[in-house]
């Protein structure tokens, strides 16, 4: 009995590191053996099961429905509001006159012309441009895992601006502006990707991402410097150049819609097809690679798709900033961070936002127009102030 007592006491209250505390710790918290430490190692066979669990299941239907309703309302406002206001019934009747089975309606020819030739192409073009800028911003932020990435990160703005500037200073036709801007934007991104995605960091996923971003900053600075030099050498057209740089939809036509539409369809289809892979990338590049995701191929495909849509938007509207940052972050704060929601909702909300921004641009200082880039910048600055002041926003965007 004298031997049994001390033995039991040692098992129960022994010094630190012996069986007593270990048993107590195991009884108090049995979960750590299956916790994050196990999922953190890329060589862990359970990593394939734990990595997808980090992405919450989402139901994008409600968010898409709300964004679609906002877009419908924005289109209605965009078509009916202007220097010559048209009530919604008159707009509806004017729209029906172009249908082959329309009823006999006595609609003034002026109303039909305003709706079909002036406002509707402008609204459709604004929606396509907004969708491409917002979708491109969300895609760049996802593939580079950088919350400050926007469609102009890789030199799209600088390349498009240089292409348009060269046409303006040479006295070329206005019809050459969109293709020149598109070629310039695509060339800038191609140079950025070739410089950033090749070389020493080609096999290192994190290094390649940083290299592409840094290459984009350098290429954008170079193209901007060349553009500034050309502007100073041709001051007689500097006002026209700045008018294009600030962005505008004032000269929108159905031909502009036809220019951007094929690129917008291809870009949107590619981005939406890769939204689930962007969700996998959110858990980390090492984990995504262990799950079989080809990071280099994913990055190249998403960058090409986002650049294709953004370059087409820049070509027909000029440079419109902040859309690719405001809209995706707003969607994350309100609907969740999964790219199954962020990408489609950003495209729809971006379309609605730019249509309303264009309405403000053409009505705030009527009969003259304010550049739409000024309107989006006025909306973007308070948004960043909100992010800086809101602790919840900083956590969501981190």
Domains of the chain by residue range = 113-397
Mean of the pLDDT values across residues 290-306? Answer: 89
Could you tell me which of 122, 176, 164 has the C-alpha nearest to residue 351? 122
| pLDDT at 44 (0 to 100) | 41
Residue 52, pLDDT > 70, answer: no
Residue 398, pLDDT > 80, answer: no
| pLDDT at 305 (0 to 100) | 94
Q: How far apart are CA 163 and CA 187, in angstroms?
A: 10
Average pLDDT value for the chain: 80
Q: What Cα–Cα distance (Å) separates residue 227 from each residue in 165, 166, 321, 353?
A: 7, 8, 18, 29
| pLDDT at 352 (0 to 100) | 97
| pLDDT at 206 (0 to 100) | 54
Q: What share of the chain is helix, strand, coil (3-state, %, to 5)?
A: 75, 0, 25
Residue 198's pLDDT band, with cuts at 50, 70 and 90, is low
pLDDT in tens, 249-280: 988 999 999 989 999 999 999 999 999 999 88
Q: What is the distance between the terminal CA atoms of the chain, rounded to a whole angstrom? A: 63
Residue by residue, DSSP assigns 221-234 as: HHHHHHHHHHHHH-
Beta carbons of 302 and 143 less than 8 angstroms apart: yes
What is the rounded (10 degree) CA torsion for 12, 13, 17, 20?
20
| pLDDT at 10 (0 to 100) | 41
pLDDT in tens, 62-99: 899 999 999 999 999 999 988 877 888 888 888 888 77
Could you tell me which of 30, 51, 55, 56 has the C-alpha nearest to residue 39? 51
pLDDT in tens, 338-388: 999 999 999 999 999 999 999 999 998 888 889 999 999 998 888 877 776
| pLDDT at 397 (0 to 100) | 56
Q: What is the CATH number of domain 113-397?
A: 1.10.3470.10
| pLDDT at 353 (0 to 100) | 97
| pLDDT at 270 (0 to 100) | 96
| pLDDT at 171 (0 to 100) | 85
According to DSSP, residue 108 is labeled -
| pLDDT at 5 (0 to 100) | 46
Q: How far apart are CA 95 and CA 188, in angstroms?
A: 41
| pLDDT at 26 (0 to 100) | 39
Mean of the pLDDT values across residues 135-139? Answer: 94
Mean of the pLDDT values across residues 304-311? Answer: 92
Residue 18, pLDDT > 50, answer: no
Q: Lowest-confidence range among 23-27, 98-102, 129-133, 362-366?
A: 23-27
| pLDDT at 102 (0 to 100) | 64
Residue by residue, DSSP assigns 112-123 as: HHIIIIIIHHHH
| pLDDT at 128 (0 to 100) | 97
Number of H helices, E strands in the chain: 20, 0
| pLDDT at 163 (0 to 100) | 92
Mean of the pLDDT values across residues 22-48? Answer: 39
Q: How far apart are CA 140 and CA 161, in angstroms?
A: 20
Q: How far apart are CA 81 and CA 71, in angstroms?
A: 15
């Amino acid at each position: 009995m004298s031997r049994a007592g001390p033995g039991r006491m040692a098992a129960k209250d022994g010094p630190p590191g012996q069986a007593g505390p270990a048993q107590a710790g195991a009884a108090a918290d049995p979960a750590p053996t299956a916790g994050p430490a196990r999922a953190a190692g890329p060589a862990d066979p359970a990593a394939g099961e734990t990595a997808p669990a980090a992405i919450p299941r989402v139901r994008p239907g409600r968010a898409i429905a709300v964004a679609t309703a906002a877009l419908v309302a924005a289109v209605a406002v965009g078509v009916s509001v202007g220097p010559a206001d048209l009530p919604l019934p008159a707009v509806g009747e004017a729209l029906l006159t172009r249908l082959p089975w329309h009823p006999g309606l006595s609609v003034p020819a002026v109303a039909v012309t305003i709706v079909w030739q002036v406002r509707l192409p402008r609204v459709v073009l604004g929606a396509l441009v907004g969708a491409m800028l917002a979708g491109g911003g969300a895609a760049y932020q996802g593939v580079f895992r950088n919350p400050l990435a926007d469609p102009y990160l890789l030199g799209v703005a600088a390349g498009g601006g240089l292409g348009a500037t060269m046409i303006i200073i040479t006295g070329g036709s206005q019809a050459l502006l969109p293709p020149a801007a598109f070629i310039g934007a695509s060339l800038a991104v191609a140079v950025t990707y070739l410089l950033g995605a090749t070389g020493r960091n080609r096999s290192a996923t994190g290094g390649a991402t940083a290299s592409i971003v840094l290459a984009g900053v350098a290429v954008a600075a170079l193209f901007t410097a060349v553009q500034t030099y050309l502007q100073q050498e041709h001051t007689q057209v500097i006002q026209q150049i700045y008018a294009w740089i600030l962005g505008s939809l004032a000269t929108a036509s159905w031909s502009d819609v036809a220019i951007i539409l094929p690129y917008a369809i291809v870009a949107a289809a590619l981005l939406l097809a890769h939204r689930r892979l962007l969700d996998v990338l959110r858990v980390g590049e090492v984990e995504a690679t262990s799950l079989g995701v080809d990071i280099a191929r994913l990055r190249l495909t998403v960058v090409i798709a986002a650049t294709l849509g953004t370059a087409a938007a820049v070509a027909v509207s000029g440079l419109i900033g902040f859309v690719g940052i405001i809209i995706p972050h707003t969607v994350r704060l309100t609907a969740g961070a999964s790219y199954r929601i962020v990408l489609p909702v950003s495209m729809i909300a971006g379309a609605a936002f730019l249509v309303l921004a264009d309405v403000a641009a053409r009505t705030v200082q009527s009969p003259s127009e304010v550049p739409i880039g000024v309107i989006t910048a006025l909306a973007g600055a308070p948004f960043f102030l909100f992010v800086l002041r809101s602790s919840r926003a900083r956590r969501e965007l981190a």
